Amino acid sequence: MALGLATAFVLVWASGYLVGDLGTSACPPLTLIFWRFLLATVVIGTVALATGAPWPDRPGDWLRPAAAGVLLQTVQFAGVYVGLSLGVSAGLASLIVSASPLVIALGAVALDGERLRSVGWLGLALGLAGVGVAVSAELSGGARPAGIGMVVLGLAGFVGGTLLQKRAPATADLRTATTIQMSAATLTSVPLAAASSGFALPLTAIAVGSVVWLAVVNSVGGLLLLFVLLRRRSGAGATSYLFLVPPVTALLGVPLLGQPMHVAALAGVALAAVGVGLVSRSERRPVGDDRAHPHEVAAAEPLSPRRAPVPPAPPARFRG
């Protein structure tokens, strides 16, 4: 179950880079994200209504997912897509965004008191190194500072939205929470599209197909997978799978986009996989570890010195 969830997450997010690269070549980036968010809102909203999903009762339970949606969707993808349109290579963009697990780990320590052992920090460093190795052949020195700055803004949006989503109550329904998030992203993308390229979507197979894929598979499916991972693991642990996204994207680009095969991509996958494994190992604390979270300590409480251990029962004698 866990392996399947992680595999689906990596493949879905990797497809977002491939299809996003195609989409921004056929459609203005801010027009693309508007239609992506609008279609995603219609899809997940229809699912929520058709299945009778419960809606929040308190205003605060609407504001948190709305704010997370603006950060995770509008800020992240506006920054990344505009950066791509300004000449940032897909490899460099993925390298910048893939620094998010490190930043999220630092933010989670500061805000939520999450702890990560030394092996976990080593895993994060190895994961980021694996990304760098995998995309080294694609890094371009000609990217404009403005483009890099926009991708960094996208990174900040993803980190902020993930930390905010991690603090959401576990009882929140994923269908309605995702609908609220995508609605907020759609509304905030309207002025961006209006001020730049407008709302006219080119009626080409690449443009329309990119919108459909990014909306249904990435904005709905990818977001739900991220939410499930955040409920099961720490912020750093859940997002550590992002280290595998750029190497896997490089490998998938060979058959899908006709890109050349680089040995660096294979090496990057191996290095990133080791990093992800170390992060996962750091979250599985042994029983009684004094570095465990407070709620884990109670379950691993040592035997009280005033309570004598019960001696084992003598073996029963054989009765013939």
CB 37 within 8 A of CB 246: no
Domain annotation covers residue 295? no
Do the domain assignments include residue 100? yes
Burial of 214 (0-12, 13-18, 19+ CB in 10 A): buried
Cβ 85 vs Cβ 29: under 8 Å: yes
DSSP 275-308: HHHHHHHHHSPPTT-TTS-HHHHGGGPPPPTTSP
Q: What is the mean pLDDT of each run of 10 residues along the chain (320 residues)?
A: 85 87 89 96 96 91 93 93 80 76 71 67 78 68 77 91 80 91 96 94 95 95 88 72 79 74 73 76 52 36 43 47
* pLDDT the model gives residue 217: 95
Q: Which domain holds residue 102?
A: 2-285
DSSP-assigned letters across all residues of 217-270: IIIIIIHHHHHHHHHHS-HHHHHGGGGGHHHHHHHHHHHHH-PPP-HHHHHHHH
Write out pLDDT tens, residues 108-166. Answer: 665 665 666 777 778 778 877 877 776 676 665 556 788 888 988 999 999 899 888 87
Question: CA 244, CA 7: separation in Å to the nearest integer?
Answer: 10
The DSSP 8-state label assigned to residue 170 in this structure reads: T
Does 177 fall in a domain?
Answer: yes
Domain count, the chain: 1
Answer yes or no: is 304 within a domain: no
